[in-house]
């Protein structure tokens, strides 16, 4: 006769209890958010304000990295409704941004990098009317995370 070898029932029960405790701890950790620091969260908060006066319009676009990875701002596109002409002049801060005007859009190109929690305000002065008070406009921000994934955030504003 052949003897069949197997696990001792006490040893098998011990392994099942250990496996159940590990799975339970992982579930509780997931529910409690213990693993959130390990997860990649790519998020950018965009807010735009505009002050319109007789001679100058001051636009302030605030970008805040609310995720937990570094992001790079590729382009900020600001919609206007009257277009721009030779009498329109623009000033921007920070100066590292390149300003490009295409019809009814102002594009701010640059390589601003924001670490998690960082916040930057982009200030733009436009001399020459470009926005109508009370109308809704859009500002869109194209950015990428440290893995090269490109994302877009869109925010509306009303002068």
pLDDT one-digit tens code per residue, 18-45: 999 999 998 887 777 666 656 678 899 9
Q: Are residues 31 and 55 part of one domain?
A: no
Q: Are residues 130 and 115 part of one domain?
A: yes
Q: Are residues 27 and 49 part of one domain?
A: no
Q: Which domain holds residue 136?
A: 44-157
User: Using CA atoms, how far apart are residues 66 and 90, in angstroms rounded to an integer?
Assistant: 29
Q: How many domains does the chain have?
A: 2
134 vs 37, residue with greater confidence: 134
138's enclosing H/E stretch is: strand 137-145
DSSP classification of residue 38: T
Among 65, 49, 66, which residue's Cα sits nearest to residue 155?
A: 49
How is 88-130 classified by DSSP, letter by letter? -EEEEESTTSEEEEETTEEEEEEEEEE-TT-EEEEEEEEES--
Q: Are residues 60 and 21 part of one domain?
A: no
Is this structure's pTM higher than 0.85?
Answer: no
pLDDT one-digit tens code per residue, 61-74: 899 999 889 999 99
Provide mean pLDDT across the span 134-151. Answer: 89
Q: Are residues 29 and 52 part of one domain?
A: no
Provide mean pLDDT across the span 78-99. Answer: 63
């Amino acid at each position: 006769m052949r003897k069949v070898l197997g696990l001792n029932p006490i040893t098998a029960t011990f392994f099942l209890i250990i496996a159940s405790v590990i799975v339970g701890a992982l579930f509780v950790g997931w529910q409690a958010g213990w693993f959130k620091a390990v997860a990649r969260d790519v998020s950018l908060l965009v807010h735009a304000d505009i002050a319109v006066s007789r001679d100058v319009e001051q636009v302030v676009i605030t970008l805040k990295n609310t995720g937990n990875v570094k992001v790079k701002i590729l382009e900020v596109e600001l919609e206007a409704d009257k277009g721009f002409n030779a009498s329109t002049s623009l000033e921007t801060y920070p100066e590292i941004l390149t300003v490009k005007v295409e019809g009814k859009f102002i594009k701010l190109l640059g390589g601003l990098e924001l670490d998690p929690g960082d916040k930057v305000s982009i200030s733009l002065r436009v001399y020459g009317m470009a926005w109508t008070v009370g109308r809704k406009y859009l500002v869109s921000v194209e950015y990428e995370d440290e893995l090269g994934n490109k994302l877009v955030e869109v925010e509306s504003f009303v002068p």
